Structure 1
């Protein structure tokens, strides 16, 4: 999922402005390594023809767009090429202070960052945007970049849907059938090229984008899944890295890509769900949902039961309620609006909940593209259990202690059990001392989407990297967000290459020097002030 710290702020702005291998030669098959080099040289020669952005991008005239063509299959660079949509806002400062292009990937898989140049209008990005061209792009399969499709938008569910935390055998069989149909749809609608939508190719695409931008080395900001692409790039092309920020890192351990990571994510969401309920209970005078986290859970269960019996607005059932509340696990800025909607619903007013949770009645032509790309990349990237008995065993056990997100996450990924396209072997993301320029890693300690253990693991794997932690916080993606301390480290690194000073790590027998720093958490949301602001600003 995209970084909420940046994505949320840009959404408001948009509305207001209407896997151990050690060397690159061993990390990639020779044919694909040669293909990447050829594609990069070709892109450098072609460059990017910047022009006004297509209306579909919904970007202002200050942002320019272009296209970079990359091989669908890097083992066949002279074969079919696919277009990647790129967007750019030139650096606003003096030409003498320009440091090149800062390329952003927001994660997903399946998310586009063509909106990223709008960050130039945010106070938190003012100094960075003065020195860097802010560049976004739609990765392969996303949006207008050779889109992946797995189902007819007209056939997508518009609600209401169930969301059982203890699914019956009948319901499990229904979801197995749906997963099989979805996997078959991906193969049928996308065709033979489906096998080429994976993370290794996303990393190779970064190398081609770098060349097309005319940059001798890459300056990159990756959030969430974008950190995995960054880690792959750093392993494959360490000599091409200038500066790299990896925000809200996924655990790149090969054995955890992606089945194990999704189990860990489901467990972490239980803790973040508790954080949200604890906050709501603290403000019981405002919401009336209960003075303890357990009482708030009871109120939520009452709403689930009522919506199962009678969907709100005919479109919001337990599944839609869960989807709305899941957003609160990603970003605490959703807490006031979600708590207010739940409170209003239980008091007889379903409209706020319908406004926040109902799926669109008329799906857009590209509806489902994000999920299709997510599925293609995750299923192509690595082996998955192919027997539902394994999924059933693991998720049933996990749901006993983490019911909130476990089964919903399992259903989202279950098509990978029935995937027919060839799968990749995950690369071992790892660099030795002195191979890679220092990388800055940012992480929130209670991040649920990418649990903090992943940040520690990536920090260990990328020799010489630095880790900045926002303690006690859980927003998924913290670069450019409300924490001035985090933003200070981000600016110091991007503008001057500065990192936290090394210190001795007393958790290791040899007292290894490490670069780590901590920031206090940003303030929790204030329900009163934010509720007042909601009257002026549309809910996201």
Structure 2
């Protein structure tokens, strides 16, 4: 697995860090198109190796848009220019997932394949949202124990208790309140949307096209709601429920059912006789894989197993988190099956997946949490979380109550600066949604809520496939062809459509 893929998985879609110095920003330049007044971008070589021809720059944005001339932070931006100026029709913006995901490495990872599909129709541009990658970051000063993914995800204790989760959530919220400052408070969907609008102006484009992924689909939908006149061809890939009363809280809750819908794909793979020669076959029948995994997790709850990473034993919750990560892609199935095999072997020391073997950097942990807490107010009742986690644990054993459990947002110091945007059908009909039917991260039933909200503005392509990420992500030629045709020619299905696997 590449470094980018490991970090993408670790932050539940794309949180690769991009370090180093980027090119300086020049003074404001004359606008190149209507509504494009803004700072110019000075492009130069990228500090980190990536895609050939990828250039980098920095964009200044206000920490607080209510004070546009006040303190500024810097966004890392990158592009790959069209090699066919005569064919170029505009800029295609890649809006990364997360929260906590970075766009610069995503362009590096997908740019070659995307450039081939676009055949020069666009300059390809992406950015690291504030708080991520090479952009200005925030931190909370968290200790290492509170920065492990298995700790940041609120897994209940072995007996289903949430006392430790409550204490950790209070501790994290207090630390972020003390140390996070104005930059941490600014990490929100609303500000990311404003930053994209500022980037559009800096690029000199009257309109942008976009490919948004995962959490980025919500960012993209909010941008299309706020600035419909500046959207051209808009692709939303792997969509969540945009319910403005819940947003991220709803997305986390939905992953319980998402895991249940996706797990049969892993079970069929793990029971396939083809796994026998690889030493990865877990059962003779697919229906036996789920109880095997649940029994093993329960055993590790009682007696954690020493792993190959000093000081990080394989616990039941770590196994459950490894499973959630593995469900995002068929390519991760072998790693999880190998972990299960090692956990069953008394003589083995399991090799933990890289995303789970150590703590996240403090800045990454902050970027992962802050938008969740800054976008919408979360309930504060500990008793309500205790009841919800217990009910969810009984209903969805694979996720053991985690998606309904308490998080630091319940005790966040500052209330959200504004209410989340309601996504509606008002605006141009220029949106194409694409969605895997068995997506553990943004389940299909949540995507249907986005589809319903957008109404006549959108068409939706459903892929009969499992995993997270659809376009150029799973080899479904029908889905890839449909998105490419829309972006390059404007052709879009007349109605919602389906692609077999």
Does TM, scored on the shorter chain, surpass 0.5? yes
Say which SS state the counterpart of residue 75 (structure 2) adopts.
Answer: strand
TM normalised by structure 1 equals 0.78
Mapped contact 1:103–1:136 kept (Cα < 8 A) = yes
The superposition leaves residues 120-167 of structure 1 with CA deviations (integer Å, 9 ceiling, x where unpaired) of 664465131532222121101112322121234655566998996664
- 1:224 Cα deviation after fit: 0.8
Aligned residue number for residue 27 of structure 2 = none
- 2 CA distance for matches of 1:204 and 1:343? 48
1:420 corresponds to which of 387, 398, 413: 413
Aligned residue number for residue 93 of structure 2 = 103
The superposition leaves residues 305-326 of structure 1 with CA deviations (integer Å, 9 ceiling, x where unpaired) of 2583332124242233223221
- 2 CA distance for matches of 1:123 and 1:139? 23
Aligned residue number for residue 380 of structure 1 = 374
- 1:196 Cα deviation after fit: 2.2
Say which SS state the counterpart of residue 185 (structure 1) adopts.
Answer: helix
- 1:277 Cα deviation after fit: 2.0
Mapped contact 1:43–1:69 kept (Cα < 8 A) = no
Aligned residue number for residue 478 of structure 1 = 470
For 1:125-140, what aligned pairs fall within 5 Å after superposition? 125-128=115-118, 130-140=120-130
Q: Which runs of 5+ in 2 are unaligned?
A: 17-30
The superposition leaves residues 272-304 of structure 1 with CA deviations (integer Å, 9 ceiling, x where unpaired) of 223312331234635342123443234324543
Q: Does 1:401 align with 2:395?
A: yes
Aligned residue number for residue 172 of structure 1 = 162
The number of aligned residues is: 466
Q: Does 1:258 align with 2:242?
A: no
1:143 corresponds to which of 133, 140, 157: 133
Q: Does 1:68 align with 2:59?
A: yes
The superposition leaves residues 463-485 of structure 1 with CA deviations (integer Å, 9 ceiling, x where unpaired) of 331100002x2211101121111
Say which SS state the counterpart of residue 309 (structure 1) adopts.
Answer: coil
For 1:2-41, what aligned pairs fall within 5 Å after superposition? none
For 1:505-520, what aligned pairs fall within 5 Å after superposition? 515-520=495-500
- 1:176 Cα deviation after fit: 0.8
Aligned residue number for residue 76 of structure 2 = 85
- 1:348 Cα deviation after fit: 5.2
The superposition leaves residues 417-453 of structure 1 with CA deviations (integer Å, 9 ceiling, x where unpaired) of 1011121312111132xx3241010011111211112
CA distance 1:159–1:457, shift in 2 (3 Å): closer
- 2 CA distance for matches of 1:350 and 1:214? 58
Q: Does 1:456 align with 2:453?
A: no
- 1 CA distance for matches of 2:175 and 2:115? 41
CA distance 1:341–1:62, shift in 2 (3 Å): same
Aligned residue number for residue 181 of structure 2 = 191
- 2 CA distance for matches of 1:191 and 1:50? 30
- 1 CA distance for matches of 2:296 and 2:450? 40
Q: Does 1:201 align with 2:191?
A: yes
Mapped contact 1:273–1:329 kept (Cα < 8 A) = yes
Aligned residue number for residue 22 of structure 2 = none
Aligned residue number for residue 330 of structure 2 = 332
- 2 CA distance for matches of 1:45 and 1:417? 38
Mapped contact 1:48–1:66 kept (Cα < 8 A) = yes
Mapped contact 1:323–1:357 kept (Cα < 8 A) = no
- 2 CA distance for matches of 1:489 and 1:351? 46
- 2 CA distance for matches of 1:208 and 1:114? 17
1:371 corresponds to which of 360, 365, 374: 365
- 1 CA distance for matches of 2:424 and 2:148? 43
Say which SS state the counterpart of residue 234 (structure 2) adopts.
Answer: strand
Mapped contact 1:243–1:438 kept (Cα < 8 A) = yes
CA distance 1:275–1:165, shift in 2 (3 Å): farther
The superposition leaves residues 247-268 of structure 1 with CA deviations (integer Å, 9 ceiling, x where unpaired) of 0111112233232332222222
- 1 CA distance for matches of 2:496 and 2:150? 46
Q: Does 1:441 align with 2:433?
A: yes
For 1:39-50, what aligned pairs fall within 5 Å after superposition? 44-50=37-43
Structural RMSD (CA): 3.1
1:317 corresponds to which of 289, 314, 337: 314
Aligned residue number for residue 218 of structure 1 = 208
CA distance 1:69–1:349, shift in 2 (3 Å): farther
Say which SS state the counterpart of residue 327 (structure 2) adopts.
Answer: helix
TM normalised by structure 2 equals 0.84
Say which SS state the counterpart of residue 177 (structure 1) adopts.
Answer: helix
Which protein has the bigger helix share? 1
Mapped contact 1:68–1:209 kept (Cα < 8 A) = yes
CA distance 1:449–1:158, shift in 2 (3 Å): closer
Q: Which runs of 5+ in 1 are unaligned?
A: 15-37, 502-514, 522-540
- 1 CA distance for matches of 2:397 and 2:435? 25
- 1:355 Cα deviation after fit: 5.2
CA distance 1:291–1:468, shift in 2 (3 Å): same
